[in-house]
Amino acid sequence: MNILVVQHVEADPVGILGRYLEVKGAWLHTWLVPQRTTPPQGHYDGLIVLGGPMNACDDEAFPHLRRVVALIRQFHQQGKPVLGICLGAQLIARAFGSRVYQNHQPELGFTPLFPIGEAPEPWVQTYPAGMPMMQWHFDTFDLPAGGQLLLTNNVCPNQAFRLDHNIYGLQFHPEITPAIVMNWMAFKTEWIETHYPHLFEQLQDQLRRYWVPSTQFTETLANAWYDQVVAASQAVAMFPSG
């Protein structure tokens, strides 16, 4: 299966999520936006949209965002799975007419998440209530019309959602490795220095405690999402449009 990965900045690659997908058999084709203005051409069975420091609606400074929104809609129309992470989830919300805006409180570091109700996704069914996942965001979004909330917390309620049968948005970061997280410290602002003066030490401690359990979740997520990509590809082959 060929997966198109939209990587907005060099500091936020597909990480361990990509490794698990490759083990399953995925071929990842990364559109690294700083290096090229358009995505690589080809046939793709699924789409992953990663995170980044930009606002999801800042088309003037980041004109590629319009193209990403169009890609999300295109894959949705074709019945192909889409997975959006952090900024990617916000771009999914934007693509389907929902508002993206600053959250009342940022989330920086590992925060606990809680599953909501019953969902068919194995990565929701097996999620330990309160298990922390890595966060690095200031913005949030309204759920798109028809979206089903899957994971939540008190700081930022919309943590994971499903739209129709093939679109998933995650506000948190399942793809991280310790090296990726430590690299993000280079992007800390004066505001972060003031309000989170011990963030570096906190992240080091949180990674020691929570990274391994988070990777176990990521493996479950990757396996389930890849299986969905395979099933969608087989359905398209069996019932081609036109």
Mean pLDDT of the region 70-99:
97
DSSP string, 102-169: EEEEEEEEEEE-EE-S--S-HHHHTPPTT-EEEEEEEEEEPPPTT-EEEEE-SS-S-SEEEETTTEEE
Q: What is the pTM of this model?
A: 0.95
On average, the pLDDT of the chain sits at: 94
> Which tokens go with 181?
């997280």
pLDDT-derived band of residue 240, with 50, 70 and 90 as boundaries? low
Active site amino acids:
86, 173, 175
Put residue 75 in one of left, alpha, beta given phi > 0 → left and psi -120 to 50 → alpha.
alpha
For every residue of 44-93, which 3-state class applies, written as one string? CCEEEECCCCCCCCCCCCCCHHHHHHHHHHHHHHCCCCEEEECHHHHHHH
- Using a pLDDT cut of 70, give the percent of the chain over it: 97
Give the model's pLDDT for residue 189.
79
pLDDT-derived band of residue 82, with 50, 70 and 90 as boundaries? very high
Identify the residue with better confidence: 238 or 131.
Answer: 131
> Which tokens go with 156?
């930022």
Give the model's pLDDT for residue 171.
98
Residue 238 has pLDDT above 70, yes or no: no
Residue pLDDT, tens place only, 173-195: 999 999 999 999 877 778 888 88
Residue 237 has pLDDT above 50, yes or no: yes
- Could you tell me which of 141, 142, 148 has the C-alpha nearest to residue 168? 148
Residue 168 has pLDDT above 80, yes or no: yes
Strand partners, 133: 111
Delimit the domains of the chain by residue range: 2-238
Give the model's pLDDT for residue 242.
47
Put residue 40 in one of left, alpha, beta given phi > 0 → left and psi -120 to 50 → alpha.
beta
Beta pairing class for 82-85 and 167-170:
parallel
Tokens 């959250």 label which residue?
A: 103
CATH topology of domain 2-238: Rossmann fold (3.40.50)
Instruction: Pick the range with the lowest mean pLDDT from 2-16, 130-144, 176-190.
Output: 176-190
Residue 96 has pLDDT above 70, yes or no: yes
Mean pLDDT of the region 90-104:
97
Which amino acid, 160? Answer: A
Give the model's pLDDT for residue 119.
86
Which amino acid, 142? Answer: D
pLDDT-derived band of residue 232, with 50, 70 and 90 as boundaries? very high
